[in-house]
Structure 1
Protein backbone atom coordinates (compact mmCIF):
# COMPACT_ATOMS: atom_id res chain seq x y z
CA UNK A 1 0.00 0.00 0.00
CA UNK A 2 1.09 3.59 -0.48
CA UNK A 3 0.65 4.40 3.18
CA UNK A 4 1.49 2.41 6.26
CA UNK A 5 -1.67 1.24 7.96
CA UNK A 6 -2.26 -0.11 11.43
CA UNK A 7 -4.79 -2.36 13.06
CA UNK A 8 -6.93 -1.32 16.00
CA UNK A 9 -10.02 -2.64 17.71
CA UNK A 10 -12.09 0.18 16.22
CA UNK A 11 -10.81 -0.48 12.71
CA UNK A 12 -11.68 -4.17 13.04
CA UNK A 13 -15.20 -3.26 14.13
CA UNK A 14 -15.66 -0.81 11.26
CA UNK A 15 -14.41 -3.34 8.72
CA UNK A 16 -16.63 -6.06 10.14
CA UNK A 17 -19.72 -3.86 10.03
CA UNK A 18 -19.13 -1.81 6.89
CA UNK A 19 -16.26 -3.45 5.00
CA UNK A 20 -18.61 -5.09 2.50
CA UNK A 21 -19.87 -1.69 1.32
CA UNK A 22 -18.46 0.68 -1.26
CA UNK A 23 -19.48 3.75 -3.21
CA UNK A 24 -22.42 5.75 -1.93
CA UNK A 25 -23.48 3.08 0.58
CA UNK A 26 -20.10 3.18 2.32
CA UNK A 27 -20.10 6.97 2.24
CA UNK A 28 -23.55 7.13 3.87
CA UNK A 29 -22.50 4.76 6.65
CA UNK A 30 -19.30 6.66 7.42
CA UNK A 31 -21.01 10.06 7.47
CA UNK A 32 -24.10 9.19 9.46
CA UNK A 33 -23.04 6.23 11.61
CA UNK A 34 -19.28 5.92 12.05
CA UNK A 35 -18.02 9.52 12.05
CA UNK A 36 -20.93 11.97 12.28
CA UNK A 37 -19.55 15.51 12.11
CA UNK A 38 -15.97 14.19 12.12
CA UNK A 39 -15.30 13.29 8.50
CA UNK A 40 -14.30 15.32 5.46
CA UNK A 41 -13.63 14.62 1.80
CA UNK A 42 -10.26 15.34 0.23
CA UNK A 43 -10.67 16.20 -3.45
CA UNK A 44 -8.32 17.38 -6.19
CA UNK A 45 -11.21 18.22 -8.54
CA UNK A 46 -9.25 16.24 -11.11
CA UNK A 47 -10.26 13.97 -13.95
CA UNK A 48 -12.46 11.56 -11.93
CA UNK A 49 -13.28 13.67 -8.87
CA UNK A 50 -16.83 14.34 -10.03
CA UNK A 51 -17.87 10.76 -9.20
CA UNK A 52 -17.11 10.98 -5.49
CA UNK A 53 -18.34 14.58 -5.30
CA UNK A 54 -21.64 13.66 -6.91
CA UNK A 55 -22.10 10.82 -4.42
CA UNK A 56 -21.44 13.23 -1.58
CA UNK A 57 -24.00 15.69 -2.94
CA UNK A 58 -26.63 12.96 -2.79
CA UNK A 59 -25.65 11.60 0.63
CA UNK A 60 -24.91 14.85 2.50
CA UNK A 61 -23.80 18.00 0.63
CA UNK A 62 -22.84 19.77 3.88
CA UNK A 63 -19.84 17.51 4.56
CA UNK A 64 -16.64 19.59 4.22
CA UNK A 65 -14.63 19.14 1.02
CA UNK A 66 -10.93 19.92 1.42
CA UNK A 67 -9.40 21.23 -1.80
CA UNK A 68 -5.62 21.60 -2.07
CA UNK A 69 -5.05 24.84 -3.96
CA UNK A 70 -1.30 24.55 -4.37
CA UNK A 71 -0.87 27.77 -6.31
CA UNK A 72 0.34 25.68 -9.26
CA UNK A 73 -2.96 24.32 -10.55
CA UNK A 74 -4.40 24.65 -14.03
CA UNK A 75 -6.89 27.47 -14.39
CA UNK A 76 -9.25 24.86 -15.82
CA UNK A 77 -9.17 23.01 -12.49
CA UNK A 78 -10.15 26.10 -10.52
CA UNK A 79 -13.02 26.86 -12.88
CA UNK A 80 -14.10 23.21 -12.78
CA UNK A 81 -14.20 23.36 -8.99
CA UNK A 82 -16.49 26.39 -9.10
CA UNK A 83 -18.72 24.77 -11.69
CA UNK A 84 -19.10 21.57 -9.68
CA UNK A 85 -19.79 23.43 -6.46
CA UNK A 86 -22.68 25.23 -8.14
CA UNK A 87 -24.00 22.22 -10.05
CA UNK A 88 -23.82 19.75 -7.14
CA UNK A 89 -24.86 22.14 -4.37
CA UNK A 90 -21.85 21.41 -2.17
CA UNK A 91 -22.02 23.91 0.67
CA UNK A 92 -18.61 23.66 2.37
CA UNK A 93 -15.60 23.57 0.04
CA UNK A 94 -12.48 24.63 1.93
CA UNK A 95 -9.48 25.75 -0.10
CA UNK A 96 -6.19 24.80 1.57
CA UNK A 97 -3.07 26.59 0.42
CA UNK A 98 0.61 26.62 1.39
CA UNK A 99 1.71 28.87 4.23
CA UNK A 100 3.30 32.01 2.69
CA UNK A 101 5.94 32.00 5.43
CA UNK A 102 6.99 28.47 4.47
CA UNK A 103 7.07 29.41 0.79
CA UNK A 104 9.30 32.40 1.56
CA UNK A 105 11.88 30.00 3.01
CA UNK A 106 11.41 26.82 0.96
CA UNK A 107 10.27 28.11 -2.43
CA UNK A 108 10.91 31.87 -2.72
CA UNK A 109 11.16 31.79 -6.53
CA UNK A 110 8.30 29.32 -7.06
CA UNK A 111 10.55 26.84 -8.85
CA UNK A 112 10.96 24.17 -6.18
CA UNK A 113 8.98 21.77 -8.36
CA UNK A 114 11.84 21.76 -10.89
CA UNK A 115 14.55 21.15 -8.29
CA UNK A 116 12.83 18.92 -5.75
CA UNK A 117 9.40 17.59 -6.72
CA UNK A 118 8.94 15.76 -3.42
CA UNK A 119 9.82 18.90 -1.47
CA UNK A 120 7.37 20.95 -3.51
CA UNK A 121 4.57 18.47 -2.86
CA UNK A 122 5.40 18.50 0.83
CA UNK A 123 5.18 22.29 1.11
CA UNK A 124 2.18 22.78 -1.16
CA UNK A 125 0.12 19.66 -0.40
CA UNK A 126 1.20 17.64 2.62
CA UNK A 127 1.51 20.44 5.16
CA UNK A 128 -1.69 22.31 4.17
CA UNK A 129 -3.69 19.08 4.27
CA UNK A 130 -2.29 18.24 7.70
CA UNK A 131 -3.68 21.52 9.01
CA UNK A 132 -7.00 21.01 7.24
CA UNK A 133 -7.53 17.55 8.71
CA UNK A 134 -6.60 18.42 12.30
CA UNK A 135 -10.16 18.35 13.64
CA UNK A 136 -11.41 15.34 11.69
CA UNK A 137 -11.25 11.67 12.64
CA UNK A 138 -11.54 10.39 9.08
CA UNK A 139 -11.39 11.46 5.47
CA UNK A 140 -12.72 10.20 2.14
CA UNK A 141 -10.22 9.76 -0.66
CA UNK A 142 -10.75 9.03 -4.35
CA UNK A 143 -7.95 6.45 -4.56
CA UNK A 144 -8.53 3.30 -6.62
CA UNK A 145 -6.60 0.03 -6.67
CA UNK A 146 -5.94 0.19 -10.40
CA UNK A 147 -4.08 3.51 -10.24
CA UNK A 148 -0.70 2.36 -8.93
CA UNK A 149 0.98 -0.79 -7.74
CA UNK A 150 1.22 0.67 -4.26
CA UNK A 151 -2.56 1.03 -4.11
CA UNK A 152 -3.42 -2.41 -5.44
CA UNK A 153 -3.97 -4.00 -2.01
CA UNK A 154 -5.68 -1.17 -0.15
CA UNK A 155 -8.94 -1.72 1.71
CA UNK A 156 -12.04 0.43 1.56
CA UNK A 157 -11.57 1.30 5.25
CA UNK A 158 -8.04 1.93 6.53
CA UNK A 159 -6.41 3.49 9.55
CA UNK A 160 -3.16 5.35 9.13
CA UNK A 161 -0.22 5.13 11.44
CA UNK A 162 0.48 8.43 13.16
CA UNK A 163 4.00 9.86 13.25
CA UNK A 164 4.77 7.85 16.41
CA UNK A 165 3.43 4.62 14.93
CA UNK A 166 0.21 4.56 16.96
CA UNK A 167 -3.23 4.28 15.32
CA UNK A 168 -4.18 7.59 13.73
CA UNK A 169 -6.79 8.98 11.37
CA UNK A 170 -9.10 6.73 9.36
CA UNK A 171 -9.00 6.83 5.59
CA UNK A 172 -12.11 5.79 3.64
CA UNK A 173 -11.78 4.76 0.01
CA UNK A 174 -15.31 4.33 -1.45
CA UNK A 175 -14.00 3.80 -5.01
CA UNK A 176 -11.14 1.44 -4.15
CA UNK A 177 -12.62 -1.42 -6.16
CA UNK A 178 -13.81 0.64 -9.14
CA UNK A 179 -12.07 0.59 -12.52
CA UNK A 180 -12.02 3.12 -15.36
CA UNK A 181 -15.09 1.59 -17.00
CA UNK A 182 -17.05 1.87 -13.74
CA UNK A 183 -16.10 5.53 -13.45
CA UNK A 184 -16.95 6.27 -17.07
CA UNK A 185 -20.31 4.54 -16.78
CA UNK A 186 -21.20 6.46 -13.61
CA UNK A 187 -20.30 9.80 -15.21
CA UNK A 188 -22.31 9.03 -18.33
CA UNK A 189 -25.32 7.64 -16.46
CA UNK A 190 -25.55 10.76 -14.29
CA UNK A 191 -24.65 13.14 -17.14
CA UNK A 192 -21.84 14.71 -15.13
CA UNK A 193 -19.41 17.29 -16.56
CA UNK A 194 -15.86 16.12 -17.16
CA UNK A 195 -12.74 18.10 -16.33
CA UNK A 196 -12.13 20.17 -19.48
CA UNK A 197 -8.54 18.91 -19.84
CA UNK A 198 -9.57 15.25 -20.19
CA UNK A 199 -10.54 15.70 -23.84
CA UNK A 200 -7.09 17.21 -24.43
CA UNK A 201 -5.28 14.06 -23.34
CA UNK A 202 -4.77 14.72 -19.63
CA UNK A 203 -5.93 11.53 -17.90
CA UNK A 204 -4.68 12.23 -14.38
CA UNK A 205 -4.53 15.90 -13.47
CA UNK A 206 -2.42 17.55 -10.78
CA UNK A 207 -0.32 20.70 -10.74
CA UNK A 208 0.42 22.34 -14.07
CA UNK A 209 4.26 22.06 -14.04
CA UNK A 210 4.17 18.35 -13.19
CA UNK A 211 1.28 17.16 -15.38
CA UNK A 212 1.61 16.20 -19.04
CA UNK A 213 -0.69 14.74 -21.64
CA UNK A 214 -0.61 10.95 -21.78
CA UNK A 215 0.88 9.76 -25.03
CA UNK A 216 -1.04 7.22 -27.09
CA UNK A 217 -0.67 3.83 -25.45
CA UNK A 218 0.76 5.37 -22.30
CA UNK A 219 -0.08 4.34 -18.77
CA UNK A 220 -3.03 6.05 -17.11
CA UNK A 221 -0.80 8.05 -14.73
CA UNK A 222 2.24 8.39 -16.97
CA UNK A 223 1.52 12.09 -17.36
CA UNK A 224 2.19 12.72 -13.68
CA UNK A 225 5.80 13.63 -12.81
CA UNK A 226 6.89 12.30 -16.20
CA UNK A 227 10.55 11.32 -16.22
CA UNK A 228 10.79 11.10 -12.45
CA UNK A 229 10.76 8.05 -10.20
CA UNK A 230 7.62 9.35 -8.53
CA UNK A 231 3.93 8.51 -8.69
CA UNK A 232 2.59 9.90 -5.40
CA UNK A 233 2.50 13.44 -4.05
CA UNK A 234 3.09 12.36 -0.43
CA UNK A 235 -0.25 12.98 1.26
CA UNK A 236 -0.70 9.24 1.74
CA UNK A 237 2.69 8.70 3.37
CA UNK A 238 2.36 7.70 7.07
CA UNK A 239 2.76 10.39 9.68
CA UNK A 240 3.04 13.36 7.35
CA UNK A 241 -0.65 14.19 7.28
CA UNK A 242 -0.77 14.00 11.06
CA UNK A 243 1.31 17.13 11.39
CA UNK A 244 4.91 15.96 11.06
CA UNK A 245 7.13 18.86 10.06
CA UNK A 246 4.63 21.61 10.81
Structure 2
Protein backbone atom coordinates (compact mmCIF):
# COMPACT_ATOMS: atom_id res chain seq x y z
CA UNK A 1 0.00 0.00 0.00
CA UNK A 2 1.34 3.39 -1.00
CA UNK A 3 0.99 6.07 1.65
CA UNK A 4 1.06 9.82 1.38
CA UNK A 5 2.94 11.96 3.86
CA UNK A 6 1.57 12.61 7.33
CA UNK A 7 0.37 16.07 6.24
CA UNK A 8 -3.25 15.29 5.37
CA UNK A 9 -6.17 17.51 4.34
CA UNK A 10 -7.25 17.55 7.99
CA UNK A 11 -3.90 18.91 9.12
CA UNK A 12 -2.58 20.81 6.11
CA UNK A 13 -2.41 24.54 6.72
CA UNK A 14 -3.00 24.14 10.44
CA UNK A 15 -0.17 25.10 12.81
CA UNK A 16 1.52 22.06 14.28
CA UNK A 17 0.52 21.43 17.87
CA UNK A 18 3.17 21.16 20.51
CA UNK A 19 4.48 17.67 21.04
CA UNK A 20 6.70 16.97 24.04
CA UNK A 21 7.51 20.22 25.80
CA UNK A 22 11.26 20.03 26.19
CA UNK A 23 12.59 21.92 29.18
CA UNK A 24 16.09 23.33 29.37
CA UNK A 25 18.66 22.04 31.82
CA UNK A 26 22.41 21.65 32.09
CA UNK A 27 22.00 17.87 32.18
CA UNK A 28 20.04 17.88 28.93
CA UNK A 29 22.71 20.03 27.31
CA UNK A 30 25.41 17.66 28.57
CA UNK A 31 23.65 14.54 27.26
CA UNK A 32 23.06 16.10 23.86
CA UNK A 33 26.70 17.12 23.63
CA UNK A 34 28.09 13.75 24.70
CA UNK A 35 25.83 11.65 22.50
CA UNK A 36 25.49 14.03 19.55
CA UNK A 37 25.07 12.17 16.27
CA UNK A 38 23.98 8.87 17.79
CA UNK A 39 20.72 7.36 16.62
CA UNK A 40 19.00 3.99 16.54
CA UNK A 41 20.69 1.17 18.42
CA UNK A 42 23.79 3.24 19.15
CA UNK A 43 21.78 5.85 21.03
CA UNK A 44 19.75 3.17 22.78
CA UNK A 45 22.82 1.37 24.06
CA UNK A 46 24.30 4.60 25.39
CA UNK A 47 21.09 5.52 27.20
CA UNK A 48 20.42 2.06 28.65
CA UNK A 49 23.96 1.20 29.70
CA UNK A 50 25.63 4.56 30.39
CA UNK A 51 23.26 7.47 30.89
CA UNK A 52 20.37 5.80 32.77
CA UNK A 53 21.32 2.26 33.86
CA UNK A 54 18.42 0.75 35.78
CA UNK A 55 16.44 4.00 35.48
CA UNK A 56 14.95 3.78 32.00
CA UNK A 57 11.92 2.04 30.48
CA UNK A 58 10.52 1.51 26.99
CA UNK A 59 6.99 2.69 26.21
CA UNK A 60 5.54 0.50 23.46
CA UNK A 61 2.11 0.26 21.84
CA UNK A 62 3.07 -2.99 20.06
CA UNK A 63 1.76 -1.25 16.97
CA UNK A 64 2.76 -1.26 13.32
CA UNK A 65 6.52 -0.68 13.67
CA UNK A 66 7.07 -1.59 17.33
CA UNK A 67 9.13 -4.65 16.48
CA UNK A 68 12.03 -2.45 15.30
CA UNK A 69 12.53 -0.63 18.60
CA UNK A 70 11.83 -3.71 20.71
CA UNK A 71 14.32 -5.79 18.74
CA UNK A 72 17.01 -3.14 19.26
CA UNK A 73 16.31 -3.08 22.99
CA UNK A 74 16.33 -6.88 23.26
CA UNK A 75 19.75 -7.00 21.61
CA UNK A 76 21.12 -4.57 24.21
CA UNK A 77 19.39 -5.75 27.39
CA UNK A 78 16.22 -7.90 27.27
CA UNK A 79 15.55 -7.12 30.95
CA UNK A 80 14.88 -3.45 30.17
CA UNK A 81 11.32 -2.75 31.41
CA UNK A 82 8.76 -2.46 28.59
CA UNK A 83 5.55 -0.60 29.51
CA UNK A 84 2.52 -1.62 27.46
CA UNK A 85 -0.68 0.42 27.73
CA UNK A 86 -3.58 -2.01 27.72
CA UNK A 87 -6.43 0.47 27.45
CA UNK A 88 -9.17 -2.15 27.36
CA UNK A 89 -10.02 -0.96 23.84
CA UNK A 90 -7.25 -2.60 21.82
CA UNK A 91 -7.57 -4.93 18.85
CA UNK A 92 -7.27 -8.60 19.70
CA UNK A 93 -4.57 -8.74 17.01
CA UNK A 94 -2.48 -6.26 19.01
CA UNK A 95 -2.65 -8.39 22.15
CA UNK A 96 -1.66 -11.49 20.23
CA UNK A 97 1.15 -9.58 18.49
CA UNK A 98 2.43 -8.46 21.90
CA UNK A 99 2.61 -12.06 23.07
CA UNK A 100 4.34 -13.16 19.87
CA UNK A 101 7.00 -10.44 20.09
CA UNK A 102 7.61 -11.06 23.78
CA UNK A 103 8.29 -14.71 23.04
CA UNK A 104 10.37 -14.11 19.90
CA UNK A 105 12.52 -11.32 21.35
CA UNK A 106 12.81 -12.68 24.88
CA UNK A 107 11.48 -9.54 26.54
CA UNK A 108 11.96 -10.41 30.20
CA UNK A 109 10.20 -7.49 31.88
CA UNK A 110 7.02 -6.67 29.97
CA UNK A 111 4.55 -4.75 32.13
CA UNK A 112 0.92 -4.37 31.03
CA UNK A 113 -0.63 -1.28 32.61
CA UNK A 114 -4.19 -0.06 32.39
CA UNK A 115 -6.62 2.59 33.60
CA UNK A 116 -7.46 2.82 37.29
CA UNK A 117 -10.86 1.17 37.95
CA UNK A 118 -12.05 4.25 39.84
CA UNK A 119 -11.29 6.50 36.85
CA UNK A 120 -13.21 4.22 34.52
CA UNK A 121 -16.14 3.93 36.93
CA UNK A 122 -16.37 7.70 37.31
CA UNK A 123 -15.66 8.87 33.75
CA UNK A 124 -16.55 5.95 31.47
CA UNK A 125 -18.93 3.52 33.21
CA UNK A 126 -20.56 2.49 29.92
CA UNK A 127 -17.32 2.21 27.94
CA UNK A 128 -18.36 4.67 25.23
CA UNK A 129 -16.48 7.79 26.29
CA UNK A 130 -14.29 7.38 23.18
CA UNK A 131 -17.29 8.40 21.07
CA UNK A 132 -18.46 11.41 23.10
CA UNK A 133 -15.09 12.78 24.24
CA UNK A 134 -12.02 10.99 22.81
CA UNK A 135 -9.62 13.38 24.56
CA UNK A 136 -10.99 12.43 27.98
CA UNK A 137 -11.01 8.76 27.03
CA UNK A 138 -7.32 8.94 26.11
CA UNK A 139 -6.64 10.81 29.33
CA UNK A 140 -8.01 8.16 31.69
CA UNK A 141 -6.93 5.15 29.63
CA UNK A 142 -3.47 6.29 28.50
CA UNK A 143 -2.14 9.53 29.99
CA UNK A 144 -2.79 8.87 33.68
CA UNK A 145 -1.82 5.15 33.67
CA UNK A 146 1.45 5.86 31.89
CA UNK A 147 2.34 8.72 34.20
CA UNK A 148 1.85 6.43 37.19
CA UNK A 149 3.93 3.67 35.65
CA UNK A 150 6.81 5.99 34.74
CA UNK A 151 7.22 7.49 38.21
CA UNK A 152 10.14 5.20 39.20
CA UNK A 153 12.10 6.01 36.04
CA UNK A 154 14.32 8.96 35.13
CA UNK A 155 13.92 8.36 31.40
CA UNK A 156 11.60 6.72 28.90
CA UNK A 157 12.23 5.37 25.41
CA UNK A 158 9.67 6.00 22.67
CA UNK A 159 9.20 4.79 19.11
CA UNK A 160 8.21 8.22 17.77
CA UNK A 161 9.44 9.31 14.34
CA UNK A 162 9.57 12.76 12.77
CA UNK A 163 7.56 11.72 9.71
CA UNK A 164 4.50 10.71 11.73
CA UNK A 165 2.95 14.09 12.52
CA UNK A 166 3.68 17.77 12.05
CA UNK A 167 4.15 18.13 15.80
CA UNK A 168 7.00 15.60 15.68
CA UNK A 169 8.79 16.99 12.64
CA UNK A 170 11.42 18.86 14.71
CA UNK A 171 11.73 16.26 17.45
CA UNK A 172 15.20 15.84 19.01
CA UNK A 173 16.48 12.32 19.79
CA UNK A 174 17.04 13.39 23.42
CA UNK A 175 14.38 15.46 25.18
CA UNK A 176 13.48 16.39 28.73
CA UNK A 177 9.79 16.82 29.52
CA UNK A 178 7.81 18.34 32.34
CA UNK A 179 5.80 15.75 34.25
CA UNK A 180 2.34 16.24 35.70
CA UNK A 181 3.67 16.39 39.28
CA UNK A 182 5.99 19.29 38.45
CA UNK A 183 9.15 17.25 37.99
CA UNK A 184 10.99 16.34 34.81
CA UNK A 185 11.82 13.15 32.92
CA UNK A 186 14.09 12.50 29.97
CA UNK A 187 12.54 11.12 26.80
CA UNK A 188 14.68 9.24 24.29
CA UNK A 189 13.59 8.95 20.64
CA UNK A 190 16.12 6.64 18.92
CA UNK A 191 13.98 6.27 15.77
CA UNK A 192 13.36 10.00 15.32
CA UNK A 193 15.22 10.13 11.99
CA UNK A 194 13.86 6.84 10.60
CA UNK A 195 11.36 6.91 7.72
CA UNK A 196 9.04 4.15 6.50
CA UNK A 197 11.67 2.75 4.14
CA UNK A 198 14.23 2.53 6.96
CA UNK A 199 11.73 0.64 9.10
CA UNK A 200 10.90 -1.79 6.28
CA UNK A 201 14.58 -2.48 5.65
CA UNK A 202 15.13 -3.22 9.34
CA UNK A 203 12.09 -5.51 9.60
CA UNK A 204 13.25 -7.44 6.54
CA UNK A 205 16.88 -7.64 7.64
CA UNK A 206 16.02 -9.26 10.96
CA UNK A 207 12.94 -11.14 9.68
CA UNK A 208 10.73 -9.56 12.29
CA UNK A 209 6.99 -10.28 12.24
CA UNK A 210 4.66 -7.48 11.16
CA UNK A 211 1.57 -6.49 13.05
CA UNK A 212 -1.16 -8.55 11.33
CA UNK A 213 -3.38 -5.48 10.74
CA UNK A 214 -0.79 -3.65 8.61
CA UNK A 215 -1.47 -5.80 5.54
CA UNK A 216 -5.18 -5.20 6.11
CA UNK A 217 -4.84 -1.45 5.58
CA UNK A 218 -3.91 -0.14 9.04
CA UNK A 219 -0.53 1.66 8.82
CA UNK A 220 -0.91 3.23 12.28
CA UNK A 221 -2.70 1.22 14.96
CA UNK A 222 -4.24 2.37 18.23
CA UNK A 223 -7.47 1.53 20.03
CA UNK A 224 -10.06 -0.35 18.02
CA UNK A 225 -12.91 2.24 18.14
CA UNK A 226 -10.63 5.08 17.03
CA UNK A 227 -8.59 3.32 14.32
CA UNK A 228 -9.82 2.72 10.78
CA UNK A 229 -8.40 1.48 7.49
CA UNK A 230 -6.51 3.87 5.23
CA UNK A 231 -7.08 3.71 1.49
CA UNK A 232 -4.14 3.66 -0.93
CA UNK A 233 -2.70 7.15 -1.23
CA UNK A 234 -4.00 8.20 2.18
CA UNK A 235 -1.85 9.69 4.90
CA UNK A 236 0.02 7.55 7.40
CA UNK A 237 -2.15 8.77 10.33
CA UNK A 238 -5.43 9.19 8.42
CA UNK A 239 -6.90 6.16 10.16
CA UNK A 240 -6.41 7.58 13.66
CA UNK A 241 -9.43 9.52 14.94
CA UNK A 242 -10.59 9.86 11.33
CA UNK A 243 -12.77 12.87 10.60
CA UNK A 244 -11.39 14.93 13.48
CA UNK A 245 -8.39 17.21 13.93
CA UNK A 246 -7.04 14.95 16.68
CA UNK A 247 -3.81 13.11 15.88
CA UNK A 248 -2.30 12.49 19.34
CA UNK A 249 -3.57 10.50 22.30
CA UNK A 250 -1.89 12.89 24.71
CA UNK A 251 0.91 10.87 26.30
CA UNK A 252 3.53 12.85 24.36
CA UNK A 253 1.96 16.27 24.72
CA UNK A 254 2.79 18.88 27.39
CA UNK A 255 1.43 17.99 30.82
CA UNK A 256 -1.67 20.02 31.62
CA UNK A 257 -4.91 19.62 33.48
CA UNK A 258 -7.42 16.95 32.49
CA UNK A 259 -8.10 17.21 28.78
CA UNK A 260 -5.86 20.19 28.06
CA UNK A 261 -3.27 19.78 25.35
CA UNK A 262 -4.45 16.31 24.41
TM range (shorter): over 0.9
Of residues 219, 224, 236, the one that matches 1:220 is 236
Is 1:191–2:204 an aligned residue pair? no
Match in the other structure for 1:45: 62
Is there any run of 5+ residues in structure 2 with no aligned partner, and where? 1-17
SS in 1 for 2:59: strand
SS in 2 for 1:79: helix
Separation in 2 of the partners of 1:19 and 1:47? Answer: 28
Residues matched between the structures, number: 241
Is 1:90–2:79 an aligned residue pair? no
Give a deviation string over 1:209-235, Cα, whole Å, max 9, x none.
000011121000100000111000000
Is there any run of 5+ residues in structure 1 with no aligned partner, and where? none
Residues 104-119 of structure 1 mapped to structure 2, 5 A cutoff: 104-119=121-136
Give the superposition deviation at 1:187. 0.2
Distance 1:55 1:41, change over 3 A: same
Is the 1:159–1:167 Cα contact (8 Å) retained in structure 2?
Answer: no
Match in the other structure for 1:120: 137
Residues 3-152 of structure 1 mapped to structure 2, 5 A cutoff: 3-152=20-169
Is 1:207–2:223 an aligned residue pair? yes
Give a deviation string over 1:104-132, Cα, whole Å, max 9, x none.
00000000000000000000000100111
Give the superposition deviation at 1:162. 3.3
Match in the other structure for 1:172: 188
Give a deviation string over 1:85-109, Cα, whole Å, max 9, x none.
0000000000010011110000000
TM-score (norm 1): 0.95
Distance 1:170 1:54, change over 3 A: same
SS in 2 for 1:202: coil
TM-score (norm 2): 0.90
Is the 1:5–1:161 Cα contact (8 Å) retained in structure 2?
Answer: yes
Give a deviation string over 1:44-94, Cα, whole Å, max 9, x none.
000000000000110100000000000000000000000000000000000
Hey, which bits of structure 1, 4+ residues long, moved more than 4 A?
none
Separation in 2 of the partners of 1:240 and 1:56? Answer: 30
